[in-house]
Amino acid sequence: MQIGVPAETAAGETRVAVTPETAKKLIAQGHVVRVQAGAGIAAAAPDAAYQAVGAEITDAQGAWGADLVLKVRAPDAQEATQLRPGAVLVGSLNPFDREGLQRLADARVAAFALEAAPRTTRAQSLDILSSQANIAGYKAVIIAANEYQRFFPMLMTAAGTVKAAKVVILGVGVAGLQAIATAKRLGATIEASDVRPSVKEQVESLGAKFIDVPYETAEEKEAAEGVGGYARPMPPSWLERQKVEVAKRVAAADVVITTALIPGRAAPTLVTEEMVRSMKPGSVIVDIAAGRGADGISGNCTLTVADQTVTQHGVRIVGETNLAALVAADASALFARNVLDFLKLILPKDEGLKIDLEDDIVAACLVARDGQVTRAA
């Protein structure tokens, strides 16, 4: 099969869906891999590295016109017209974007959105949300440490003692857990909040303190259990009590990292302007949910501006929306391995393309086929 790897064109996108490592494996399986010139350059994978493993370097048309196209980001309107009818497209295709999915249906391709894979043990190796959120959690802390004009660790020096930074993490999914682990390695003291009760033990096992907001009604408890591992919107009664507890911690914090998301909905507001005003000058907020707020600009913090770093009430607020792209080489390496693992399901060894809808992962990821949107999230 001819496999095309177009260069990513979205602003700030540095990742690539196939690395020389995964290209080599696909070529060993008998496929022809065509990489658009320069597609891997921002991820430290120059054309020569692909050529060294037997891939062909081609132009955009050569990559988009393949039987199977592998992408990090969904194609834009112009790119979608370059797909060949009957081709297969695999990538992060945003299953909540109805218009984008319709575009893929109109292009008459079979499209697989890897974000739609179930959060099951079998799907772990192809889980792009986890691999990329892990990187985002790490990078958020590194950026915070860079913006923060003090040390993270406690230091006892001849010139006096420096206190450890107080870090508050709001939302402890994959990104939040990695943010805790990274901040811990840097020597910070950490408190964290999440709606899901199962998180408490994970937070404590990483050496952080869980901000407990007990559930007072059966409705609160049921909502907190979430669905399929994901959070659901919490009742206002619980959110009000969480706000009181979070406000106290934010006022005392040096660094706040917010990661709270609810699939298919606007990111919840957890840090208000009033809370930002209560923070010390020089404090830092890194909002991983930037651009996911109800207005499409803010995030978990109302003062966040997507893709900008702003200073409000003396607090630096970082609204980077694609943190994984700032660790381009490893983000690509993990993404490409996720893609390769998914391909094992639709391109079984020594067989051609096989779309088996009995397979729960294949069925969940298939978002367009034969001119129809098959599954919008």
Catalytic residue among 230, 237, 356, 360: 230
The side-by-side arrangement of strands in the sheet containing 366-369 is 56-58, 32-36, 2-5, 68-73, 88-92, 110-113, 366-369, 372-373
Is 83 or 271 the residue whose CB approaches ligand NAD more closely? Answer: 271
Q: Which stretch binds ligand NAD (CB under 6 A): 10-18, 77-85, 101-109, 260-268?
A: 260-268
Q: Which stretch binds ligand NAD (CB under 6 A): 47-55, 69-77, 105-113, 168-176?
A: 168-176
Report the nearest approach of ligand NAD to the CB of residue 337 (Å): 15
Residue 124 as a binder of ligand NAD (CB under 6 A): the answer is yes
Residue 95 as a binder of ligand NAD (CB under 6 A): the answer is no
Among 191, 194, 254, 320, binds ligand NAD (CB under 6 A): 194
Name the residue among 84, 64, 66, 86 with its Cα closest to residue 75. 64
Query: Could you confirm whether 103 is annotated as catalytic?
Result: no
Spell out a b/e string for 326-358, using b for 16 or more CB atoms within 10 Å of the CB, else e. Answer: bbbbbbbbbbbbbbbbbbebbbeeeeeeeeeee
Residue 263 as a binder of ligand NAD (CB under 6 A): the answer is yes
Query: Could you confirm whether 127 is annotated as catalytic?
Result: yes
Q: Which residues neighbour 265 within 8 Å (Cβ) at sequence distance 6 or greater?
A: 233
Catalytic residue among 50, 92, 103, 127: 127
β-pairing, 110-113 with 88-92? Answer: parallel
Take residue 313 and report the two structure tokens written for it. 């009430």
Residue 123 as a binder of ligand NAD (CB under 6 A): the answer is yes
Q: Which stretch binds ligand NAD (CB under 6 A): 81-89, 143-151, 159-167, 188-196?
A: 188-196
CA-CA distances (angstroms) from residue 240 to 225, 246, 270, 279? 18, 10, 10, 20
Query: Could you confirm whether 369 is annotated as catalytic?
Result: no
Catalytic residue among 124, 198, 308, 372: 124
Residue 171 as a binder of ligand NAD (CB under 6 A): the answer is yes
Interface pattern 213-252 for ligand NAD (x via CB under 6 A): ----------------xxx--x------------------
Among 14, 58, 130, 338, binds ligand NAD (CB under 6 A): 130
d(CA 375, CA 113): 10
The three-point CA angle 351-353-358 to 5° equals 100
d(CA 23, CA 277): 50
- Region 269-288 residues binding ligand NAD, contact defined as CB under 6 A: 270
Name the residue among 332, 335, 377, 375 with its Cα closest to residue 355. 375
Residue 127 as a binder of ligand NAD (CB under 6 A): the answer is yes
Take residue 81 and report the two structure tokens written for it. 């017209």
CA-CA distances (angstroms) from residue 199 to 78, 85, 243? 43, 45, 18
Count of chain residues binding ligand NAD (CB under 6 A): 31
Residues at the contact surface with ligand NAD, assessed by CB under 6 A: 119-121, 123-124, 127, 129-130, 133, 170-176, 193-196, 229-231, 234, 259-263, 268, 270
The residues annotated as belonging to the active site are: 119, 124, 127, 130, 230
